[in-house]
Amino acid sequence: MNVSNRERAGLLLSAGLNSERRRVVVTGMGIVGPLGLGVENVWSRLTAGESGIGRITQFDPSDLPAQIAGEVPQGPTSEGKLTLEEWVPVKDQRKMDRFIHMGLVAATEAVEDSGWKPQSEEDKCRTGVMIGSGIGGLQTIYDASITVHEGRARRLSPFFIPSALINLVSGHVSIKYGFQGPNHSVVTACASGVHAIGDAARLIMFGDADVMVAGGAEATVCPLGIAGFCSARALSTGFNETPQAASRPWDKDRDGFVMGEGSGVVVLEEYEHAKARGAKIYGEIIGYGMSGDAYHITAPAEGHYGAYRAMRAAIQSAGLTPADIQYVNAHGTSTMADDMELEAVERLFGDDARTVAMSSTKSATGHLLGAAGAVEAIFSILAIRDNVAPPTLNLDNPSRESVIDRVAHTAQQRQINVALSNSFGFGGTNASLIVRGV
């Protein structure tokens, strides 16, 4: 693809913005997901090659073709598991769908980690929240539908609507901490997490806020969620007896993605603001790019030019070239689209593809839909911190050969200064985020 004049203009514009724009760093992180609770716990399990996939326990999945998922493990906090009442008071739990519980857990972890507890009215007004979700309160909507179907519409809980609404994660987090800055949300299916972090970073760059709590939350391991994605022929159905082998990005035996649940949330902060208060800085958001396929509601186009353009836009906005990137956290869902993303990355990196590592952490977590991009942005930051590329599990026989090292089976120690994370969603929406160490 040749660079057109218009693209050159865009490149110049972003280069110009680069010199003036406010820098955005990550000062807090939180994860709850199939590998458990807590960023360090999840990261150590991920890099050790563990899987969070198992048979569904939240309901009896026997009637469904897909009977496995990545569920959040319940248990003591000391074991890196979730005891919900320690995070959300019991009397409030039934006023929120599970995806809001997940978002509140990860946001609480991230905010506590950042140490940012504004007391002044001004500081609170300069702190905002943008946490997205792909689907929202699906189980809540299912339950409410049954109430109405049974002729009991007048018995519908007054908490039904606020329990199901996607932006209510942002709402609850703002209420909990008194953050009165921009209160926003993102709904772009499986790209929601990356879009939320990228958009929130731009709010800080453009001066709308100094601190943003951003990420994604999802909890659709419920009959409607599993059945719906089964009908769309999107889920793995051939590994019900061997769940940990089911999510196998790029492997020739892959047969669909494995649903995961949970949340990833980061605290984004303007660089000088973070420095002034002596905050620990995990990394910097330096690039963000978006595109649309304009092709099909669920499938990417041949060659995945949408992914290519999102990645290229992110690299341009960072003022970098592909040679500067050492690690790519792929969207890689364990579907046919894996090879299309691979092809797009190869095309973009050219000769530099030989030196980049690319893995899909969905092989261990399953696909957290609207939370995936946020969780994977955190993994990308940790890959830089520890100089470790997390593995792609179950990549036994690639369906397509490539010069790109896809980190099969075990994590690799590599020098990683800059990482790119991809997320693509139904509707043909694509987003890429670039992070670096500070």
Query: Which is the catalytic residue, given 172, 184, 273, 367?
Result: 367
Report in angstroms how near the CB of residue 91 gets to another protein at its nearest.
Answer: 3
State how far the Cα of 283 lies from the Cα of 389, in Å rounded to an integer: 16
Choose among 258, 278, 260: nearest CA to 269: 278
Give the Cβ contact number of residue 387 at 10 Å.
15
Choose among 263, 267, 227: nearest CA to 88: 263
Let me know if 367 is a catalytic residue: yes
Report in angstroms how near the CB of residue 171 gets to another protein at its nearest.
Answer: 13
How far is the CA of 40 from the CAs of 37, 379, 394, 421, in angstroms? 9, 10, 23, 19
One of 6, 62, 146, 158 touching another protein (CB under 8 A): 158
Q: How many residues bind another protein (CB under 8 A)?
A: 11
157 counts as binding another protein under rule CB under 8 A: yes
- β-pairing, 36-37 vs 68-69, is unpaired
Do residues 434 and 320 make contact, with C-beta atoms less than 8 angstroms apart? yes
Sole window of 151-159, 184-192, 304-312, 348-356 interacting with another protein (rule: CB under 8 A):
151-159
Name which of 163 and 359 has its Cβ closer to another protein.
163
Let me know if 190 is a catalytic residue: yes
Q: For the residues of 83-102, what is the DSSP string, one character each? A: -GGGTS-HHHHTTS-HHHHH
Kindly write out the interface string for residues 62-101 of this chain, putting x where it contacts another protein by CB under 8 A and - elsewhere.
---------------------------xxxx--x------
State how far the Cα of 390 lies from the Cα of 392, in Å rounded to an integer: 7
Amino acid residing at 253: D
Report in angstroms how near the CB of residue 175 gets to another protein at its nearest.
Answer: 12
SS3 360: coil
Name which of 99 and 160 has its Cβ closer to another protein.
160
Let me know if 125 is a catalytic residue: no
Do residues 210 and 358 make contact, with C-beta atoms less than 8 angstroms apart? no
Name which of 90 and 276 has its Cβ closer to another protein.
90
State how far the Cα of 315 lies from the Cα of 295, in Å rounded to an integer: 24
Name which of 6 and 91 has its Cβ closer to another protein.
91
Kindly write out the interface string for residues 334-363 of this chain, putting x where it contacts another protein by CB under 8 A and - elsewhere.
------------------------------
State how far the Cα of 48 lies from the Cα of 26, in Å rounded to an integer: 24
Name which of 94 and 233 has its Cβ closer to another protein.
94
Report in angstroms how near the CB of residue 97 gets to another protein at its nearest.
Answer: 15
Site for another protein in 29-58 (CB under 8 A): none
One of 78, 120, 146, 155 touching another protein (CB under 8 A): 155
- The structure tokens 């709308």 sit at 208
Query: Which is the catalytic residue, given 101, 172, 304, 331?
Result: 331
Sole window of 149-157, 171-179, 296-304, 389-397 interacting with another protein (rule: CB under 8 A):
149-157
Name which of 17 and 175 has its Cβ closer to another protein.
175
Q: Which two tokens stand for residue 28?
A: 């807090």
Report in angstroms how near the CB of residue 162 gets to another protein at its nearest.
Answer: 8
Name which of 6 and 155 has its Cβ closer to another protein.
155
Report in angstroms how near the CB of residue 101 gets to another protein at its nearest.
Answer: 16
One of 142, 159, 271, 426 touching another protein (CB under 8 A): 159
State how far the Cα of 30 lies from the Cα of 247, in Å rounded to an integer: 24
Give the Cβ contact number of residue 151 at 10 Å.
8
Q: Which two tokens stand for residue 390?
A: 């997390």
Return all residues near 392 (Cβ < 8 A) that are at least 6 apart: 249, 250, 332, 359, 360, 361, 363, 406, 407, 408, 409
Report in angstroms how near the CB of residue 181 gets to another protein at its nearest.
Answer: 24
Q: Which two tokens stand for residue 133?
A: 């979700």
Query: Which is the catalytic residue, given 101, 172, 190, 273?
Result: 190
Instruction: List residues with catalytic annotation.
Output: 190, 331, 367
Residues within the interface to another protein (CB under 8 A) = 89-92, 95, 154-155, 157-159, 162
